[in-house]
Structure 1
Amino acid sequence: MSLFGFFRRKKSANVAKERLRMVLSYERKDLPPNFTDKIQSDLIDLFQKYPQFNLADIEINVKEGNQRDELYISIPFVGRGHN
């Protein structure tokens, strides 16, 4: 990769995939009860501040496992020309 290639922007589709698919993992023993409920509520409050997000399209799911739970979040941007 050349020095100039380092400063090039990534393709927007790749950047969008990275930003829109967040996975938060945690160890159960280290977090207080109702942590996932609290973080879900906080995330919804955060996204309400920005018109680029349609709250009806945001998906928040918790996958419970033996050693850890995972919080999956899908946050699509509102496309151009949509309000």
Structure 2
Amino acid sequence: MGLMDLFKKKSSGDVAKDRLKLLLVTDRASCSPEMMEQIKNEIIQVISKHMDIDMEGLDIQITQTESESNNGTVPALFVNIPIRDIRHGNS
């Protein structure tokens, strides 16, 4: 998995699904699509320093969850990143 894998061509259906997911997530979190994309890219960048991840299975969502302090519902970030391998050393 290299940096170029991030830029591989997706089918128009996959691109449309990704855009729709991003719109739904950003609407729930009252966060702009640009900010969500930046957060996603930063998470990928940090995790990729230490692990070889499966970009096809990557799923980042913001949903609503019950607050532990009984303040109603709060936004929650759920990240599902399939890991192919752990990098060892000082990379």
TM range (shorter): 0.3 to 0.5
TM-score (norm 2): 0.36
TM-score (norm 1): 0.39
Work out which structure has the larger RCO, using CA pairs closer than 8 Å and 6 or more positions apart in sequence: 1
Q: Which has the higher helix share?
A: 2
